[in-house]
Structure 1
Amino acid sequence: MIDWAYQNVIIRGFESGLKRRKTFPYWRELESSQWRSRRDIESLQVRRLRVLLNYCNTYCRWYRDRWAQHGIDVHGISSLADLRAFPITTRAMMRDNAADIRSSQNGIGFVSKATGGSSGAPLRFLIERDANDRRVAAAFRGYGWAGASPGTRQSHLWGVNLNPMSMRRRMKEHFYARLLYRRDLLNSFQMSDSNAGGYVERLNRFRPKVLVAYANPLFVLARAIDERGISVHRPESIIVGSEKLYEHQRALIERVFGSPVYETYGSREFTLIAAECDHHQGLHVTSENMIVEVVDDQGNAVAPGEEGQILVTDLYNTAMPFVRYAIGDRAVAAAGDCSCGRGLPLLEKIVGRQMDVLRLPDGRNLPGAFFPHLIKDISSVRQFQAVQTQPDRIQLKLVVDESWNADDGAELRRRIINTIGESSQLEIRRVDRIDLTAAGKLRVVVAYPDHRTVRQPRIAG
């Protein structure tokens, strides 16, 4: 009853009444549209895509000129497959041409945001206000699949604002998070083995219905709870996002907390892109708001079950449109539909960042998942980071405990060399700590910068 009152009276009154946002009506639409057939949803996407592309051709000079150079007929869109003729847009392109990508139409209300800059250069961008309402509605729906509808009691082990704040700003954030949305914010930036007990005490006091967390800090917390035999509150569900979740992490987290884990995938540019439902057969894409493609380096669609890079086209943001935007992540598209009955397509799994793929001197690509898979069985390693410092050099930084010994190091070296071969030099280095990104995330793999480029598809004409 309390959850219902917060959602339908307090939060609805704040969003729809005080702020005059359309979040709740859009949420209601999404709750209905998710049960439409795949064909119906694709038809909706095509209709909206036509509107978006015509808009860009009229009001966004950079898109208009670029598409004209490639001889593209913006008015000839009749299917989602036609979008593949359009060139890929990279983050660098968005950053370097922001003024010409931004809509020239007068009177557009927008909010300004920026990415965290984990790739080395943050992107500042605009979101049309109505499109932002749709994004928040999509997050309401996706988190709702895990029982985390707005107003439910939630603990968030997440990144916090590190900038100096005025008293008014602190009061505003406290009102919004704790009093309005009933969220207890736990600073993931400070999470470590040594202070895990304090985080557990906080969870046990607040007793959240849902725990929302970055994957790596939550894994560190679960490991500490498991090793020390600490008693911890069991939420009804756990939502993990913002970082790649590996299967060994999911298994430990579910066992320690006794709660099902729901993986989500999102970004600052698009908010919630995809999320798991309670059938856990993949991540449902927010297809009413966007088109998500999984493609090879030339921009061609890969077959279901094959890995590729992710391109996103936002169907509603007209303030600064994203069309075939290479978000920098890799995924595998699912072959079938979820047994839940939703018509939303699935991503089988999120593989990781595009920049996490190490290109070896012999021409092979080493996926970033190689290192977590290899190191998970060495209990003395508490944290690690693999950095390709040169095309032929890999430095593996390790934070280890007192049980680490020479045999562990020798065995780890042997396994890595067996895979990467003799073309790369390997340095294993023990460190006291590994720095997080500006957004508070742990980069477990860092590729050599020259290998982070996105190849453009060849366009006739």
Structure 2
Amino acid sequence: MAQERVGVPRSSTPGIVSPAIPGRMASLLLSVLYQFDQTQWLTAEELFAHQARQLRLLFSHAARTVPFYGRRFAEAGVDPEAEVTRSTLERLPILRRADLQAAGEAITTTTLPRSHGKMHQIETAGSTGPALRLSGTEVTKVLWRACVIREHLWHGRDLGGRLAAIRWTRQGVAMPPEGAHGDSWGPASGAVYPTGPAALLNVISELPDQAAWLTKEAPDYLISLPSNLMALAGHCIARGIRLPQLKQVMSVGEPVNDQTRRLVREAWGVPLKDSYNSEEAGYLAIQCPLHDVHHIQCENVFVEVVDEEGRACGPGEVGRVVVTPLHNFATPLVRYDLGDYAEVGAPCACGRGLPVLTRILGRRRNRLRLPGGAAVFPDFGDHRAYQAIANAVQRLRFVQRSIDEIECLMTVSAPLVPEQEEQLRALVLRNLGHPFRVTFTSLDEMPPGPRGKSEVFMSEVAG
């Protein structure tokens, strides 16, 4: 099965356009992409053999040059110079955010190989506590950019088209009505291919402003957070706003669900394609070109999904996502618990050997705590059902304040009457299947989380 190709690479040599003679970064990316073309079809065991060889080099470097890991490997009784097997990994303790914060500078290498280039700072969103400050290298940048291009190739995007992004940016930047504009899709795609223009709007913009901006920009592709896409699609459906030039919607930054996919299809008649990444580890998984599952990016990261006892989950089971970036020699992260939950999938019918995540469910704080001690990922139902009761409802966020109380935060275009609140309360209780005390709070605007993320549900109950 061959991937669909997009465009001819950009040539950096004057007078030469075909075949292109690319520059240094483009050559690096194209060489990595060529290998990606081959490795995606390997079996799971063949892929692990590639990862194990890289892990051995990573472990050796970490044990020699990172004080934290020198102690950690010794305490686990693991020889960092030995061949890496699955049992080797299981003997190493899972690394938690608190461990990184306590380690401080001891988590960073004292000697980075010169061939890995300069270090740069990586800062996490800090949504569950103080932000983490880690380091990456030029090598990790190359792998990130290669995964960006792989995603475009997998989904057959026309890089000559117009890209619109509604994403987090600094306060006061890329605000309506104009937003901000650039002449390429960014340093990944633009380094290799001539691309069309790109436009950016700050995700804190109000929904009417977002819809008006998109109508004016008339993009071929749109990327945004799933929570924003759901609200924006609902807004456009209610007002009959179509985007006739739009070919595809991309989501990133939050878990995406079937409801969001349905709303995007209903609003604009196009599919939604998702990717899963993190500041700490880069690209973790990309949606399959043929199915709505995600393929783990084995060439970039070793991903485990484990239960609460640390045992590997099988197909159909949900567990914690634990990652080991394969190429970060600046701040190695060995078996790092991201705080996310995902469901393991069976091998994909597309034929790729890259392991499958059926669903990415969210973080520990996105689980609803029940009085009996259980914790579940709740389904609050279709956004349109809430608007059918009260058309004034624009955005919704649910917060579990205590074991028996749910607060519903809403942005509304007009005040709700008591009868509407009672109907909304009944809808919430039907969806949750438990008699919570449900309260409502109307806001002028929904406060964004770190980097613009706006989770539909968060629990403040410990556990």
Q: CA deviation at 1:370?
A: 2.4
Paired letter, 2:120: V
Cα deviation digits, residues 57-99 of structure 1 (max 9, x gap): 1111112212322334445554234312211112232233131
Q: Which moved more, 1:9-18 or 1:402-411?
A: 9-18
2:258 to 216, 232, 247: 247
The 5 A counterparts of 1:20-419 are 22-75=28-81, 77-106=83-112, 108=114, 109-148=118-157, 152-162=161-171, 174=182, 177=185, 180=190, 181-204=195-218, 207-208=219-220, 210-335=221-346, 337-367=347-377, 369-371=378-380, 373=381, 377-379=385-387, 380=390, 381-402=393-414, 404-414=416-426, 416=428, 419=432
Letter in 2 for 1:345: P
The question of whether the paired residues in 2 share the 8 Å contact of 1:192 and 1:217 is answered with: no
> Contact between 2:76 and 2:91, CA under 8 Å: does it hold in 1?
no
Contact 2:28 2:142 in 1 (8 A): yes
CA apart distance, 1:420: 6.8
Partner of 2:441: 429
Distance in 1 separating the partners of 2:402 and 2:23: 56
Which residue is 1:440 aligned to?
452
Contact (CA 8 Å) 1:276, 1:284: kept in 2 or not?
A: yes
Instruction: Give the counterpart letter for 1:110 in structure 2.
Output: M
Secondary structure of residue in 2 paired with 1:97: helix
Contact 1:186 1:199 (8 Å CA) reproduced: no
Query: How far 1:138 moved relative to its partner?
Result: 1.5
CA distance in 2, matches of 1:244, 1:153: 25
SS of structure 1 residue aligned to 2:385: coil
1:340 is displaced (CA, Å) by 1.8
Secondary structure at the aligned position of 1:292 is classed as strand
Distance across 1 between alignment mates of 2:161 and 2:120? 26
Give the structure 2 partner of residue 459 of structure 1: none
Give the Å deviation of 1:183.
4.1
Question: In structure 1, what residue type is equivalent to 2:397?
Answer: Q
Q: Is the 8 A contact 1:15 1:24 kept in 2?
A: no
Structure 1 residue runs of 5 or longer lacking an equivalent are 452-461
Compared CA separation, residues 42 and 420, structure 1 to 2 (3 A): same
Name the count of aligned residue pairs. 437
Distance change (3 Å), C-alpha of 1:64 and 1:228: same
Shift of 1:53: 1.6
Amino acid at match of 2:386: I
Aligned amino acid, residue 435 of structure 1: P
Q: Which residue of 1 aligns with 2:3?
A: none
Query: TM-score if structure 2 supplies the norm length?
Result: 0.84
CA distance in 2, matches of 1:52, 1:149: 37
How far residue 236 of structure 1 moved from its aligned partner, in angstroms, is 2.5
Structure 1: how far apart are the matches of 2:329 and 2:341? 26
Deviations 1:96-126 (A, max 9, x none): 3131111111555222121222223221111
- Find the aligned partners of 1:405 and 1:174 in 2 and give their Cα distance: 45
Deviation string, structure 1 residues 165-195 (Cα, Å, up to 9, x no partner): 9xxxx99x94665795534233242333332
Out of 4, 12, 26, the residue aligned to residue 7 of structure 2 is 4
The structure showing larger relative contact order (alpha-carbon pairs under 8 Å, at least 6 residues apart) is 1
TM-score scaled by length of structure 1: 0.84
Structure 2 residue matching 1:202: 3-state secondary structure: helix
Which deviates more from structure 2 when the two are superposed, residues 389-398 or residues 217-226?
A: 389-398
Q: Residue 215 of structure 1 contacts residue 241 of structure 1 at CA under 8 Å; is this kept in 2?
A: yes
**Closer, same or farther in 2 for the Cα pair 1:75/1:298, shift >3 Å?**
farther
- For residues 444 and 217 of structure 2, the distance between their equivalents in structure 1, rounded to whole angstroms, comes to 28
| Greater helix content | 1
Pair 98,175 (structure 1): closer, same or farther in 2 beyond 3 Å = farther
Equivalent position amino acid for 1:437 in 2: G
SS of the residue 2:23 aligns to: helix
How far apart, in 1, do the equivalents of 2:186 and 2:286 lie?
Answer: 24
- Residues 89, 324 of structure 1: 8 Å contact kept: yes
**Offset at 1:417?**
5.0
**TM-aligned CA deviation for residue 432 of structure 1:** 2.6
